[in-house]
Amino acid sequence: MLHVDHVSFAYNTHIPVLENINLKVAKGEHVSIIGESGCGKSTLLKIIYGLLHLEVGEVYWNDTQVLGPLHNLVPGETYMKYLSQDFDLMPYTTVKENISEFLSVFEPQEMKARSLELLEMLGMTDFADTKVRYLSGGQQQRVALGRVLAQEPEILLLDEPFSHIDNFRKNDLRRNLFGYLKRKKITVLTATHDHNDMLPFADRVVVLRDRYIIAKGTPKNLYEHPKDLYIASLFGEANKIPINIVKSYADTKRRIIVYAHEFKVSGRSGLEVVVKSAYYMGNYFMIVGVYDGQDIYFHHHTPFESGKVVFLNISIETINQRMTDTL
């Protein structure tokens, strides 16, 4: 079990970056840390790995305390690996050599089998004998993943692990990698701002905002019951509107979160918006309308002219689902 216990951190004394962070991650569990750029995701991973000195709070892996740079000349612990946004590769050697560097030469059959398994899982078999310096950024990122996995960590910290990988390969790699980590019971913490890294794969999600953890839960629970617009917006375009402007009989001014795809366009009644713009999204249009000076995002299968008045409705199921959520 990883235990982050009452951790607060500042790079310089004036600006706190993380405040009172508490987190427990069980062996084999996959936890995603999400939040907008600059909210402290990478800093938290660096603290867990022992790259930053902690004045306040402690980090434990089972009964072992993770000690920071003042105690460890070479940062990092053997049971833990951290894949940062900069890859630490050997450019003049091949992909296979980069991945095998940490495999035991005393067991050549095992070494060959492990490196083939990793190459295949990462979709890099065809590049096994290519020197790393000739690879694209996305290919290098996959080799970097292979290098950390070859070291068989008990816990793996991934910072935006697919940031350089094209969409064509991303989904395949996500499925392969997270499936592999689950089978091997490797504990994973992934910092990301892409909900596709998290919704299908994470066991739990931790939401960071302005240095605090503001929510924890399963991906399904956070998605279906976002308690504020910040959390909902991590999953896509969302709106916060008073219930009584869509259901005039509702005897409450309470506001609920509505995802853009949850609005239904209607001819006559509902939330009256004036269309501002429409964006082609492939299988739908993202329409931006205005209600009372506030931008409202909704989907429609055809675009609308700017200036057109349309009415939006929300199903009673969605209203009931969100009634108890919003702060």
Ligand X SMILES: Nc1ncnc2c1ncn2[C@@H]1O[C@H](COP(=O)(O)OP(=O)(O)OP(=O)(O)O)[C@@H](O)[C@H]1O
Q: Is 77 helix (H, G, I), strand (E, B) or coil?
A: coil
Site for ligand X (CB under 6 A): which residue of 1, 5, 6, 11? 11
Q: Per CB under 6 A, does 39 bind ligand X?
A: yes
Least Å distance, CB 138 to ligand X, is 18
Q: Which is nearer to ligand X, 38 or 179 (CB)?
A: 38
Tell the smallest beta-carbon distance from residue 9 to ligand X (Å).
9
Stretch that binds ligand X, among 37-45, 225-233, 237-245, 283-291 (CB under 6 A): 37-45
Q: Within a 10 A sphere around the Cβ of 130, how many other Cβ atoms?
A: 15
Tokens representing 268 are 């006559």
Q: Which of 13, 14, 37, 73 binds ligand X (CB under 6 A)?
A: 37
- Under the binding rule (CB under 6 A), the answer on residue 17 touching ligand X is yes
Nearer to ligand X by Cβ, of 103 and 215: the residue is: 215
Residue 294 bridge partners (DSSP): 291
Measured over all CA atoms, what is the biggest interatomic distance in the chain, rounded to whole angstroms?
A: 76
* Shortest distance, position 33 Cβ to ligand X, whole Å: 8
Give how many residues touch ligand X by CB under 6 A. 12
Q: Which one among 164, 169, 170, 193 touches ligand X, defined by CB under 6 A?
A: 193
Task: Verify binding: residue 139, ligand X, rule CB under 6 A.
Answer: no
Question: What minimum distance in Å lies between the beta carbon of 23 and ligand X?
Answer: 15
CA neighbor of 233 nearest in space, from 209, 200, 265, 203 = 209
Q: How far is CA 259 from CA 193, 199, 233, 264, 294, in A?
A: 18, 16, 9, 11, 15
**Is residue 42 a contact residue for ligand X (CB under 6 A)?**
yes
Q: Which residues contact 34 (CB under 8 A, 6 or more apart)?
A: 41, 191, 192, 193, 195, 198, 205, 206, 207, 208, 234
If the CB atoms of residues 50 and 289 are measured against ligand X, the closer one turns out to be: 50
Scanning the structure block, which residue is given the tokens 């490797």? 186
How far from 176 is each of 119, 120, 139, CA to CA, in Å?
Answer: 11, 9, 15
CB of 42 vs ligand X, minimal distance in Å: 3
Contacting ligand X (CB under 6 A), which of 41, 96, 204, 322?
Answer: 41
Distance between CA 3 and CA 182 in Å, rounded? 20
Q: Does position 38 bind ligand X by CB under 6 A? A: yes
> Closest separation between CB of residue 220 and ligand X, Å?
24
CA angle 151, 156, 161 (to 5 degrees): 105
Nearest approach in angstroms of CB 79 to ligand X is: 23
* DSSP string for 167-219: HHHHHHHHHHHHHHHHHTT-EEEEEES-GGGTTTT-SEEEEEETTEEEEEE-H
Instruction: Give yes or no for residue 43 binding ligand X (CB under 6 A).
Output: yes
In whole angstroms, the minimum distance from the beta carbon of 233 to ligand X comes to 15
User: Interface with ligand X includes 81 (CB under 6 A)?
Assistant: no
Of residues 38 and 236, the one with the C-beta less far from ligand X: 38
Question: Which residues would be at the binding site for ligand X (CB under 6 A)?
Answer: 11, 17, 35, 37-43, 191, 193
